[in-house]
Chain A
Amino acid sequence: MTTTRAARKTSFTSKASNYLDERTSISGAVSFLGRKIFPDHWSFMLGEVALYSFIAILISGVFLTFFFDPSMTHVTYEGSYVPLKGIGMSVAYHTALDISFEIRGGLLMRQVHHWAALLFVASIGLHMLRVFFTGAFRKPREINWVIGFLLFVLAMAEGFTGYSLPDDVLSGNGLAIINGMVKGIPIVGTWISYFLFGGLFPGTEIIPRLYSLHIMLLPAILIVVLGIHLVLIVVNKHTQFAGPGKTNKNVVGSPIMPTFAAKAGGFFFLVFGTIMLIASIFTINPIWNYGPYDPSPVSAGTQPDWYIGFADGALRLVPPGWETEWFGLTFTWAIIIPIIVMVGFLMLVAFYPFIEQWITGDKREHHLSDRPRNNPTRTAIGAAGVVFYAVMWAAASSDLMATHFHVNVFHVIYVLQAALIFGPIITYFITKRVALALQKKDREIVLHGYESGRIVRRPGGEYIEVHEPLDEYERYRLVTFETYEPTKERPNAQGRISAGVKIRGALSRWFFEDRITPVTQSELEASKHDH
Chain B
Amino acid sequence: MAKRKTSGRRHPLASAALLILGLVVVGGIYTAVDQAADAQSPSHSEAALTAADGEALYMANCATCHGVDAVGTEYGPTLVGVGPASVNFQVMTGRMPMAFQGPQADQREVMFTQEQSDAIGEYLQTFGPGPERPDQEWLDTSATGVDVANGAELFRINCAMCHNVAGSGGALTEGKFAPNLHNIDADHIYEAMLTGPQNMPVFNDNNISPEEKRDVIAYLHYLDENPSAGGFSLGSLGPVSEGLFVWIFGLGSIVALTVWLTSRPN
**A interface residues (Cβ-Cβ under 8 A, vs B):** 40-43, 45-46, 49, 82-87, 100-101, 107, 111, 115, 118-119, 122-123, 126, 169-170, 263, 266-267, 270-271, 274-275, 278, 280-286, 288-291, 294, 296-306, 309, 396-400, 402-403, 406-411
Contacts and interface: CB of A to CB of B under 8 A. Distances in A.
Given A274-B254, A410-B173, A118 B151 contact: no
B174 A118 contact: no
A174 to B, nearest CB: 9
B246 interface: yes
B189 to A, nearest CB: 16
A290 B157 CA distance: 11
A301 B257 contact: no
Interface string B151-165: 111001100111111
Nearest to B151: A83
A309 B164 CA distance: 18
Q: Sorted from nearest, which 3 A-B pairs have the closest CB atoms?
A: A300-B170, A306-B243, A283-B230
Contacts of B172: 409
Interface of B: 103, 147-149, 151-153, 156-157, 160-166, 168-175, 177-178, 219, 222, 228-234, 236-240, 242-247, 249-251, 253-255, 257-259, 261-262, 264
B166 A289 contact: yes
Given A283-B230, A291-B152, 6 more contacts: A40-B262, A45-B262, A82-B148, A87-B149, A297-B161, A301-B170
Contact of B230 (A87, A267, A282, A406): A282
A282 B174 contact: no
Contacts of A107: 229-230
Nearest to A288: B229
A282 B234 contact: yes
A300 B171 CA distance: 8
A274 B250 contact: yes
Contacts of B170: 300-301, 399, 403
Contact of B149 (A84, A126, A289, A294): A84
A266 B69 CA distance: 77
Contacts of B178: 300
B160 to A, nearest CB: 4
Contacts of A282: 230-232, 234, 245
Nearest to B157: A297
Contacts of A115: 246, 250
Given A82-B222, A302-B238, A286 B258 contact: no
Contacts of A169: 156, 160, 165
Contacts of B148: 82-83, 85
Contacts of B236: 286, 289
B252 to A, nearest CB: 10
Contact of A303 (B232, B239, B254): B239
A46 B239 contact: no
A274 B228 CA distance: 21
6 contacts: A86-B149, A87-B149, A278-B245, A300-B163, A300-B168, A400-B237
Contact of A300 (B161, B249, B262): B161
B254 A408 contact: no
B251 A122 contact: yes
Nearest to A107: B230
A306 B151 contact: no
Nearest to A300: B170
Most A C-beta atoms less than 10 A away, residue of B151, B249, B254, B259 = B254
A411 B97 CA distance: 28
Nearest to B255: A42
A411 B175 CA distance: 9
Q: Which of A87, A278, A282, A309 has most B Cβ within 10 Å? A: A282
